[in-house]
Amino acid sequence: MRTIFVLFDSLNRSAMGAYGGQSVKTPNFDRFAARAVTFDRHYVGSLPCMPARRDMHTGRLNFTHRSWGPLEPFDNSFAQILKDSGIYTHMVSDHLHYFEDGGHGFHTRFSSYDFIRGQEYDPWIAMVEPPIERIKAKFDDRHYQTSKRDKRMQHAINREEIVEESDFPGPRCFASGFDFLDRNRNADDWFLMLECFDPHEPFYAPDRFKAAYETGHAGGILDWPHYERVVESEEEIAEIRANYAALVAMCDEYFGKLIDYLDEYDMWKDTCVVLSTDHGFLLSEHGWWGKCRMPYYEEVSHIPLIIHHPQHQDQAGTRRRHLTQTMDLMPTFLDLFGLNIPEEVTGRSLLPMLAEDAPIRQAAVFGVFSGPIGVTDGDWVLYHYPPDIYREGLVEYTLAPAHMTAPFTIDELKTARLAPPFNFTKGVPVLGIDALMDAKRVPNNDGVGFADIGTRLYDLINDPRQTCPVEEPAVCKRLYEEMVRELHAHDTPAGVYRWYDLNLLHKKGGYHEETTGSGDGAAAGGGERARGIS
């Protein structure tokens, strides 16, 4: 078996014709869907970028225990398991977060990897005195600050070296992927992860792609919206969306080159191809840009997944309606190569669903550490917000204390104490570190909080665009039960239930006190107080 996993970042379902999108022409994504199985109810797990990738590697949710961080020493990694089992694994990626403090340990699980430089604020081009005046004249200062220390300035500097289409990180990722295929297409037992940071912001594509979505905008470059409320004019919104569309069109064309390659060398008969993303992105829908602080509307949480398997070519063009999630990829990858799935994995292999549309879960639970928790059964979705972001009691559990771009601070580390194992740490104790309010973690590091938002329920069947939240107590009760059941399966600490007021819901909706414990660990002295954490 050979497998190619193509992972884009922030690829919206609504931007793909195969999912009914009309704003962007995606003939290659669409022709891939015509020869593969398309999953219609595929959802995220942990958010955003690196937490999503930890779900992909380990096959379980991680947002219930810690924020954005590295792969933990006790984590299962599909890439490592494949490698240890004699399957050659290779990763091509321009995703700079792998090479920051909070992203280490992922790429090194592969047999080999190629890091493509220059994406986003990758510290790639060293320029002591950047051309600030030229940058000011070129970019809109609402998206690009001109301080030498601002990460967006680094991106502007990187763009000085991106001149030809072949200079762009996305095309270079595919070129590297084709190099791997040229060397290895006649070999067997390999796994290629071809990962492109595009169409993640900044939405920068070659001119020929933007030409098809020209808006007539005459001002500075607008392609990197802040994750906040929309304040731009209609013309500016159109320009930002056009820049995203151009980048999606570029991704589609280069994915088409991969399809052509597989056609040319007759690889479909013995190669599995998986196409997906980590999460979506709000492009002014619901009055927001971005992700994480706002509700995880369908644009963010409901993501594409399309799979071609050579043994299921009779299912080409069919669709699956039952719920799947990001963490289901890991056991699927192991199952493709006939390998055993570790007991810590809570995701389910999708291979049975390629043969028939059979359910593997009743609900999908997703979220960001210390942010809202989402739960959906495919027909309804509930976003549960913490009642008070400033309350104490939330704890991060880790043996790799690093945030996105820096280690935990000394003040954070001073709160560290040893906590007994969880059901996924393989008997290894971990550090419990207070989740301080001023910690540099998503989504709390903007200091805004959630007071302007709040818990809400949507009817996805009658209100698919989520224009009006509803009150349906019976539905809420059922979804909360599903949420607590999933949290329990992931050995969620008792403090999480208390911090979100989920331990009080039994008084209103028939919940049992034992659901506020720490999963199986509660019965074995594994609750937070028993863990030595008060």
Each of the 534 residues of the chain gets a pLDDT tens digit; together they read 999 999 999 999 999 999 999 999 999 999 999 999 999 999 999 999 999 999 999 999 999 999 999 999 999 999 999 999 999 999 999 999 999 999 999 999 999 999 999 999 999 999 999 999 999 999 999 999 877 778 999 999 999 999 999 999 999 999 999 999 999 999 999 999 999 999 999 999 999 999 999 999 999 999 999 999 999 999 999 999 999 999 999 999 999 999 999 999 999 999 999 999 999 999 999 999 999 999 999 999 999 999 999 999 999 999 999 999 999 999 999 999 999 999 999 999 999 999 999 999 999 999 999 999 999 999 999 999 999 888 899 999 999 999 999 999 999 999 999 999 999 999 999 999 999 988 988 876 666 778 889 999 999 999 999 999 999 999 999 999 999 999 999 999 999 999 999 987 643 433 323 333 333 333 333 333 233 332
Q: Are strands 88-93 and 112-115 parallel, antiparallel or unpaired?
A: parallel
424-441 tens-digit pLDDT: 999 999 999 999 988 988
Amino acid at 447: G
Q: How far is it, in rounded angstroms, from Cα 418 to Cα 423? A: 16
d(CA 395, CA 527): 13
Segment 436-493, tens digit of pLDDT: 988 988 876 666 778 889 999 999 999 999 999 999 999 999 999 999 999 999 999 9
Other C-beta atoms within 10 Å of 6: how many? 24
193 phi, psi to nearest 5 deg: -105, 110
Tokens encoding 9: 């970042």
Q: Where are the alpha helices (DSSP H) in 108-233?
A: 132-138, 151-159, 169-184, 207-210
pLDDT of the residue at 506: 40
Output the pLDDT for position 447: 61
- CB proximity list for 12: less than 8 A, separation 6 or greater: 21, 248, 280, 281, 283, 299
Alpha carbon 199 to its chain centroid, in Å, reads 13
Q: Which long-range contacts (CB under 8 A, 24 or more apart) does 78-85 make?
A: 78/329, 78/330, 78/333, 78/334, 79/106, 79/109, 79/110, 79/191, 79/193, 80/109, 81/334, 81/339, 81/342, 82/191, 82/333, 82/334, 82/337, 82/339, 83/109, 83/110, 83/111, 85/337, 85/339
Count the Cβ atoms, other than its own, within 10 Å of residue 178: 16
Residues 6+ apart with CB under 8 A from 489: 346, 519
CA trace torsion 320, 325, 331, 333 (10° rounding): 70
Question: String of b and e for 188-223 (b: at least 16 CB within 10 Å)?
Answer: eebbbbbbbbbbbbbbbbbeebbeebebebeeebbb
The Cα 207–Cα 143 span in angstroms is: 20
Question: Number of C-alpha atoms within 13 angstroms, CB side, residue 406?
Answer: 8
Is 456 in a helix, a strand, or coil? strand
Q: Which residues pair with 192 in a beta bridge?
A: 4, 90
pTM score, two decimals?
A: 0.94
Taking the C-alpha atoms of residue 170 and residue 8, their distance in angstroms, rounded to an integer, is 10
- Dist. CA 519–CA 523, nearest whole Å: 8
Q: Which of 40, 66, 38 is nearest to 54 (CA)?
A: 66
How much is the pLDDT for 150?
Answer: 84
Could you tell me the two tokens for 151?
């990460």
* Torsion from C-alpha of 260, 262, 266, 270, nearest 10 degrees: -160
Q: End-to-end distance of the chain based on CA atoms, in angstroms?
A: 50
Q: Which of 80, 114, 87, 82 is nearest to 98 (CA)?
A: 114
- What is the reported pLDDT for 445? 62
How far apart CA 322 and CA 378 sit, in angstroms, is: 8
